[in-house]
Chains A and B, each alone.
Chain A
């Protein structure tokens, strides 16, 4: 089973709203990732959690706040977003390790629109 789930599938929010994106995996993976993808572009890494600790933060604005409550769940809290933050947000997970088995498996994404 290589399933990563993300909710919601679509989200429309105003610039003053607070919302959260959720990601879940039950593959026993210990690394989880958030990516942002603009149309016709490759995904851009935002955050990486390894063993529930933030291990990579790609200098993302503070209006994006990640949270990893446990090894299966990853949230992305959104506050005071800008219209340019509209994008597809992808979650991924991997076993967590140096080898080729540390392959990342992606969820279906959340399409975010900021008005």
Chain B
């Protein structure tokens, strides 16, 4: 079974600064997908970014980028130019590529990000 670990329960960053959230995972599979979701106080889970394991290039979405290290099974999220609206719980998630037509996400325990002025 796959596991996802987020070792930072809470992080804090000043507005306009950069912060990196850590995520490691354990799997015996070679093909899979990784995601970062954001859950603000409004509760809705919002997709931030996704990475295909077969792609060596790190995914980027505007101020959000990942550092995907497949051999180390590491998938960190970097938020640049942090904004107050980035304050949320961030979940790292894993999905097997071997799954069928509808597949299970395995979530980490989350990192709560605070953004200060």
Contacts and interface: CB of A to CB of B under 8 A. Distances in A.
Asked if chains A and B come from one complex, the reply is yes
A56 B101 contact: no
Interface residues of A, number: 33
A99 B102 CA distance: 10
Interface residues of B, number: 26
A7 B89 CA distance: 23
A6 B103 CA distance: 21
Nearest to A110: B43
Interface stretch (A14-22, A39-47, A78-86): A39-47
B102 A108 contact: no
Contacts of B50: 100, 103
Interface in B31-55: 33, 35, 37, 42-47, 50, 52
B66 to A, nearest CB: 14
Q: Is the interface of A mostly helix, strand, loop or mixed?
A: loop
A10 to B, nearest CB: 11
B101 A90 contact: no
Nearest to B95: A102
B104 A48 contact: yes
A45 B104 contact: yes
Given A106-B44, A109-B43, A109-B44, A51 B101 contact: yes
A49 B91 contact: no
A107 interface: yes
A62 B107 CA distance: 25
Contact of A108 (B44, B91, B103): B44
Contacts of A103: 35, 47, 50
A50 B102 CA distance: 6
B11 interface: no
A102 B103 contact: yes
Given A103-B35, A108-B42, A94 B102 contact: yes
